[in-house]
């Protein structure tokens, strides 16, 4: 079967993707992962070994292993491996040769076309050197494209990107940083302005920062090492690897421990996420400054950006998205696997090029060694080349080295700029001498768990000035063929969304009320659908932000009525509940709450009653006010033991469960008599309670105990307990899967809990002080209000990754989703507004 190959030769990792027919997927290069280390080892017999095999030898033979090779391209000084000189292009060629061998062996032959990627801010000198790399890998020719362009091509196949949309690509990889601004046009995608970059800044520098932390923690022990001693060199190489592992762990955990084995000394060094973020904050700030310069050269203000696309492995560091979102006030979007997006886009462009009649690439070298298993396909399909009807000569362009061309007015908003080019073919020199786990079923419950540093050598190419105008490798038009493919892909994605929205099974509406059961027997059936006969809207990874709605001072919590027609907002210090009509997003009523400051709101399933948790900071008030929503009047007030947090009503409406924060108890209130009938002791201090869809269990976030407890509402007994991270604040039960998510206020994370096994399946950093979490109506995404980060983080239920961060204002405290899934509303405490989110794009 013919296929097309995209290869991203990165500073620390190498990734490759394959496009064929209607699918696009990663090629498995590593022994245990999709990517392979960008490392080369020289054996005693002179043979170069690459990838995982080379990386494993970096500890025992550090003098024979080369890493961060791409950083050295353009440096006239050769690399020494075991005392032997090697050109950087030769070593990059060895990495590429390994990729071609593995993929060719798995696919049964060479690729029809190959596209390689490079940093956007490289000048002509390094690009010309890079175009020699295919020759060292046994290819007579290859195509090249810049990394941001490839990432944008892939982004266009997986997100809604309409004509006129402008995105910024923030590419923070292992060794370099690039920032590029692109715009979707009728013809394709064009670069606005000039890409900006930082030559020596990336994950490798963050590794050095962690190593410097170890040196400081050990009283300068590393500075005193004798680097002439072989045992010391080996120990230091092992320590560097452990520093890399610790850095990567901090993207998922709040702390890590680094084992330090030095000659005559062994100890452990602890590093927290907060410490690591302090180390890298200044470098990240410099990348944001570079991104701002790229926006200036493009004459684009931040408010014009649809999103900032985060690319490169280092962009997964939570601080990166938080700082960009806060600085620019725009959503940040990170793919579940940011190391993959450049390779996937390159494969797409290779397919586009071949579909327009390009000659096949040269043959790949014979394969040798282990052939990795085939990777799972990426969800977004790419149309086959035959769907493109453009003539082959549409790709004919200026050869490398020809004078650059720019359309008049390029870079100005509304002017014709330099569209995203096709990949450019390098020189044809003489031959050389020498995925992710599949998602859970949409309506099924699975049987078990689900799932910088110091100064370095002079920069290669120092003094090299990137082209003042657009060179062909990144400025030529992505002509009608590529534009047609992207348009078709966007159409396929859009149609797919629409079909899923209309064709998904309709939500089943159960019968009316449930007959009252004996005392302690109030587990109800599923709640009726708010939109009978229609499935909820399909949520998108990047919701759009609407116009804020003024709702009065200190809106601390928002709840949606069961029919979705009204929003009720608890205005804390104002002592009122504000009512908003969701059809027009306007305030229609204000309800005084005489008992005291309203804090949290809970609806009865039929919407006839609204239960308001009331308390003050002095802890002299603790009550639940009951509002009759037919006339928006408080009809009674129920005293409870201590400060009541967010309660939940059983599905039959007969009982209200209210967590009492300070007494470590749940008050069970009979809603007919409005009296407390039971008290249930739980670990301190309960904040939040929510029932499962069938009503058989309730989950409680216990803030001071760092646990989520499982409560049987029939027997009123605690039947399970799951230890999570620090200060769990709220919980959200997934609408269809055996999954509970909770936010950990002090840890800045979300914990995903498998309710079949009562075990944690993932911890996800989301930003400072997350307070509330809510699922989309279709369960595809969770929305997290991060109070101190001033943003809403969007978390995928399939990948358990943050897909976007949405800046919503000063102090977001809660998120409420309409029953039809079309919109959500965020209460923003210090701004006095609700911020609407369009969840369906």
Domains parsed from the chain with CATH numbers: 4-193+330-428+465-492 (3.30.420.40)
Burial of residue 594 (CB within 10 Å: 0-12, 13-18, 19+) is exposed
pLDDT at 492: 37
Residue where the block lists tokens 């990137």: 466
Are the C-beta atoms of residues 820 and 564 closer than 8 Å to each other?
A: yes
Please give the structure tokens belonging to residue 46. 């002179």
Taking 3-state DSSP, the helix, strand and coil percentages for the chain, each rounded to the nearest 5, stand at 20, 30, 45
- The chain-wide mean pLDDT, for the chain, equals 80
pLDDT at 85: 93
Read off the pLDDT of residues 327-376 as tens digits, 9 standing for 90 and up.
Answer: 998 888 887 677 788 999 999 999 887 764 333 333 333 333 322 233 33
Read off the pLDDT of residues 12-60 as tens digits, 9 standing for 90 and up.
Answer: 899 999 998 778 899 999 887 899 999 999 999 999 999 999 988 888 8
Whether the pLDDT of residue 449 is over 60: the answer is no
pLDDT at 316: 84
pLDDT-derived band at 413, boundaries 50, 70, 90 = very low
Gap between the Cα atoms of 590 and 258, Å rounded: 56
Closest CA to 841 of 544, 547, 585: 544
Gap between the Cα atoms of 334 and 651, Å rounded: 37
pLDDT at 223: 87
pLDDT-derived band at 713, boundaries 50, 70, 90 = very high
Q: Which residues contact 515 (CB under 8 A, 6 or more apart)?
A: none
Whether the pLDDT of residue 167 is over 60: the answer is yes
Largest CA distance in the chain: 91
Mean pLDDT of 509-513: 34
pLDDT at 161: 74
pLDDT at 378: 35
Three-state secondary-structure class, residue 671: coil
Gap between the Cα atoms of 453 and 284, Å rounded: 13
pLDDT at 209: 93
Mean pLDDT of 207-211: 93
pLDDT at 467: 46
| Global model pTM greater than 0.85 | no
Please give the structure tokens belonging to residue 146. 């810049």
Gap between the Cα atoms of 767 and 762, Å rounded: 16
């Amino acid at each position: 079967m013919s296929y097309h190959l995209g290869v991203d030769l990165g500073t620390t990792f190498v990734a490759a993707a394959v496009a064929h027919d209607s699918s696009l997927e990663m090629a498995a290069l590593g022994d245990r992962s999709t990517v392979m280390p960008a490392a080369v080892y020289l054996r005693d017999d002179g043979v170069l070994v690459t990838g995982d095999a080379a990386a494993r030898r970096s500890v025992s033979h550090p003098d024979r292993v080369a890493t961060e090779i791409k950083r050295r391209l353009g440096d006239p000084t050769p690399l020494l491996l075991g005392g032997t000189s090697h050109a950087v292009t030769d070593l990059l060629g060895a990495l590429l040769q390994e990729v071609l061998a593995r993929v060719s062996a798995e696919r049964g032959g060479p690729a029809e076309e190959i596209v390689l990627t490079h940093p956007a801010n490289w000048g002509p000198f390094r690009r010309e050197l890079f175009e020699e790399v295919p020759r060292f890998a046994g290819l007579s020719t290859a195509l090249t494209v810049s990394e941001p362009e490839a990432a944008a091509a892939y982004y266009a196949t997986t997100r809604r990107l309409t004509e006129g949309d402008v995105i910024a690509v923030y590419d923070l990889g292992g060794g370099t940083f690039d920032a590029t601004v692109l715009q979707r046009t009728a013809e394709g995608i064009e670069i606005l302005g000039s890409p900006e970059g930082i030559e020596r800044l990336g994950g490798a520098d963050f590794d050095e920062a962690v190593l410097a932390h170890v040196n400081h923690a050990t009283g300068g022990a590393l500075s005193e090492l004798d680097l002439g001693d072989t045992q010391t060199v080996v120990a230091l190489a092992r320590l560097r690897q452990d520093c890399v592992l610790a850095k990567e762990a901090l993207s998922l955990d709040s702390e890590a421990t680094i084992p330090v084995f030095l000659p005559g000394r062994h100890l452990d060094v602890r590093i927290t996420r907060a410490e690591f973020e302090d180390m890298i904050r200044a470098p990240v700030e410099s990348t944001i400054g570079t991104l701002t310069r790229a926006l200036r050269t493009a004459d684009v203000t931040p408010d014009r950006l649809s999103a900032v696309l985060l690319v490169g492995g280092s962009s997964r560091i939570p601080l990166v998205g938080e700082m960009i979102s806060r600085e620019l006030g725009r959503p940040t979007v990170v793919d579940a696997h940011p190391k993959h997006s450049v390779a996937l886009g390159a494969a797409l462009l290779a397919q586009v090029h071949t579909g327009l009649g390009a000659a096949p690439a040269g043959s790949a070298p014979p394969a040798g060694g282990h052939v990795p298993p085939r990777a799972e396909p990426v969800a977004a399909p790419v149309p086959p080349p035959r769907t493109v009807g453009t003539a082959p000569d549409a790709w004919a362009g200026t050869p490398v080295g020809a004078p650059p061309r720019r359309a008049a007015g390029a870079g100005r908003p509304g002017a014709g700029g330099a569209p995203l080019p096709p990949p450019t073919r390098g020189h044809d020199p003489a031959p050389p001498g020498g995925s992710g786990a599949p998602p859970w079923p949409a309506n099924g419950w699975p049987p078990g768990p689900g799932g910088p540093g110091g100064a370095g050598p002079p920069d290669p190419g120092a003094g090299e000035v990137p082209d003042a105008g657009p060179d062909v490798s990144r400025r030529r038009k992505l002509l009608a063929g590529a534009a047609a493919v992207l348009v078709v892909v966007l159409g396929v994605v859009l149609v797919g969304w629409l079909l899923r929205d209309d064709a998904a099974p309709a939500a089943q509406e159960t019968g009316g009320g449930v007959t009252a059961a004996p005392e302690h027997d109030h587990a109800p059936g599923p709640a009726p659908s708010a939109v009978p006969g229609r499935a909820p809207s399909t949520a998108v990874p990047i919701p759009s932000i609407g116009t804020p709605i003024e709702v009065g001072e200190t809106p601390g919590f928002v709840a949606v009525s069961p029919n979705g027609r009204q929003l009720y907002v608890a205005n804390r210090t104002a002592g009122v509940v504000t009512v908003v009509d969701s059809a027009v997003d306007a305030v229609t009523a204000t309800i005084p709450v005489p008992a005291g400051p309203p804090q949290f709101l809970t609806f009865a399933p039929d919407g006839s009653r609204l239960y308001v948790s009331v308390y003050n900071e002095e802890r002299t008030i603790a009550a639940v006010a009951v509002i009759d929503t037919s006339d928006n009047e408080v009809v009674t007030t129920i005293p409870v033991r201590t400060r009541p947090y967010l309660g939940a009503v059983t599905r039959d409406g007969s009982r209200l469960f209210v967590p009492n924060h300070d007494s470590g108890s749940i008050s069970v209130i009979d809603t007919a008599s409005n009296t407390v009938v039971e008290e249930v002791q739980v670990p301190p201090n309960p904040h939040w309670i929510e029932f499962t869809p069938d009503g058989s269990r309730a989950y409680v976030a216990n803030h001071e105990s760092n646990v989520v407890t499982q409560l049987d509402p029939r027997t009123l007994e605690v039947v399970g307990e799951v230890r999570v991270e620090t200060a769990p604040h709220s919980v959200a039960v997934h609408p269809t899967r055996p999954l509970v998510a909770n936010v950990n206020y002090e840890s800045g994370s979300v914990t995903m809990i498998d309710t079949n096994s009562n075990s944690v399946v993932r911890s996800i950093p989301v930003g400072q002080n997350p307070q509330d979490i809510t699922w989309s109506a279709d369960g595809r995404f969770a929305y997290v209000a991060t109070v101190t980060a001033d943003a809403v983080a969007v978390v995928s239920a399939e990948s358990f990754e943050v897909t976007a961060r949405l800046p919503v204002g000063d102090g977001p405290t809660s998120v409420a989703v309409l029953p039809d899934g079309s919109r959500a509303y965020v209460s923003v405490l210090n701004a006095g507004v609700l911020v609407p989110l369009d969840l369906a794009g």
